Amino acid sequence: MAMLSTSLSGPKSATSYCATEFSGLRRLCPNNNTNNSHSQSFLRFSSPRKPLRGVFAMAGTGQFFVGGNWKCNGTKESITKLVSDLNSAKLESDVDVVVAPPFIYIDQVRSSLTDRIEISAQNSWVSKGGAFTGEISVEQLKDIGCKWVILGHSERRHVIGEDDQFIGKKAAYALSQGVGVIACIGELLEEREAGKTFDVCYQQLKAYADAVPSWDNIVIAYEPVWAIGTGVVATPAQAQEVHVAVRDWLKNNVSAEVASKTRIIYGGSVNGGNCAELAKQEDIDGFLVGGASLKGPEFATIVNSVTSKKVAA
């Protein structure tokens, strides 16, 4: 197994950099000569203050997985159009595809979307329902046809204030009720700059591991917080390095079997223009897509990026 670099800065590039500098990083200028509508911004980091230990590549064996997180977006009219686009899209057969509409549109989507695509919720309550104003129980999600739930998303962690242990308990309860969990992890910009990327991800993983009864129905979504909704995406090398580290943590702290079988997907400004290169990475087992999942044809392109992984293999 090949040893990976212990730097999260990614490979050097001959591309010129923008003059604007941020603390510990530089923003890569898009090529002005390109006509690609998905011109990308990448973050290049200086050497972390804390050395990151080496980890070994061990590719996962699970089927490619692509989830679309619609977040707090959409109307009845726009979602009808989106569902129509998804129903008419040609999707590769060897990909698990899931979409997560806002709660109030789940029934509309479930009743009109092709069975080829499963339904996820964006959140769930930590236990059985009851006197919990504004919450949605796992039992209610099952009743309406949800097979998955997204838990631990950075917007729940850093905006709503959910902590690691609470998220772990939510994951355990969802799994106990037969609902799959898309378990999100990821570091803030200042944590990455300080060389704490691995430590943060490991801490979040441990909270899941301490709570869940099994990893059989869990997909891990690595989403660096600095890349979510910003238009800035981790380079393929940066994403791959963290995915390898996550798989290595599972091997050392859960089991080699879980490390191999658990799918580790990437999220953070994924779109139709960058998905193919990301998909080629050995330990990227799919994507959790935000804004681009609101565009049916582009989401289909991301789903079908599995063909890039086949070529790379």
Tell me the catalytic residues: 153, 223
Produce one character per residue of 81-94: b if its CB has 16 or more CB atoms within 10 Å, e if not. ebbeebeebebeee
- Measured CA angle at 282 (ends 279, 285), to 5 deg: 55
Is-contact 273 34, C-beta < 8 A?
no
Residue 133, by phi and psi: left (phi above 0), alpha (psi -120 to 50) or beta? beta
Task: Record the tokens describing residue 107, joined without a space.
Answer: 């029934």
CA dihedral 148→150→152→153, nearest 10 degrees, is 170
**Beta carbons within 8 Å of 19's beta carbon, 6+ residues apart:** none
DSSP 8-state code for residue 3 = B
Main-chain dihedrals φ then ψ at residue 98, nearest 5 degrees: -135, 140
Task: Give dist(CA 287, CA 195) in Å, integer.
Answer: 24
Alpha-carbon distance values, 32 to 37, 232, 236 (Å):
11, 17, 21
Task: Record the tokens describing residue 41, joined without a space.
Answer: 């911004």
Task: Record the tokens describing residue 234, joined without a space.
Answer: 């981790």
Residue 229, by phi and psi: left (phi above 0), alpha (psi -120 to 50) or beta? left
Q: Strands 95-100, 286-289: parallel, antiparallel or unpaired by DSSP?
A: unpaired
**Beta carbons within 8 Å of 33's beta carbon, 6+ residues apart:** none
